[in-house]
């Protein structure tokens, strides 16, 4: 880019005292001003929150869905009376020979 063009760009960007004799400094001033303008226009980042998400926003990963299905099936099983459990423990089990 020609020196005249660099001076024109610098004056359009609002750089004070654009001097064409110091070409490299002028280029760096233009680049710095571009970075400042871009950062001023950028949206502010919201800080990330740590901790658990509320239950209504939390998504169940696939493994949790399988666990939930197993737990639900256990809730649906019929309850065995304590006397039936005691009777099943009282009878000896047949041993298998190997």
Contact (CB, 8 A) for 3 and 23: yes
Dihedrals phi, psi of 35, to nearest 5 degrees: -65, -40
| Residue pLDDT, tens place only, 77-91 | 666 777 776 776 666
Residue 81, judged by CB atoms within 10 A of its CB (0-12, 13-18, 19+), counts as exposed
At 21-68, the pLDDT tens digits run 788 888 899 999 999 888 888 777 777 777 777 666 555 556 677 777
Torsion (CA) 23, 25, 26, 29 in degrees, nearest 10: 160
Report how far apart the first and last C-alpha atoms of the chain are (Å, whole number).
Answer: 92
Q: Is the pTM of this model over 0.85?
A: no
């Amino acid at each position: 880019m020609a020196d005249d063009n660099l001076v024109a760009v610098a004056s359009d960007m609002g750089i004070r005292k654009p001097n064409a004799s110091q070409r490299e400094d002028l280029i760096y001033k233009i680049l710095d001003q571009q970075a400042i303008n871009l950062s001023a226009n950028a949206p502010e980042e919201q800080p990330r929150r740590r901790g658990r998400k509320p239950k209504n926003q939390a998504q169940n990963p696939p493994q949790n869905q399988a666990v939930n299905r197993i737990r639900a099936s256990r809730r649906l099983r019929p309850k065995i009376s304590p006397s039936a459990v005691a009777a099943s423990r009282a009878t000896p089990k047949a041993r298998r020979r190997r």
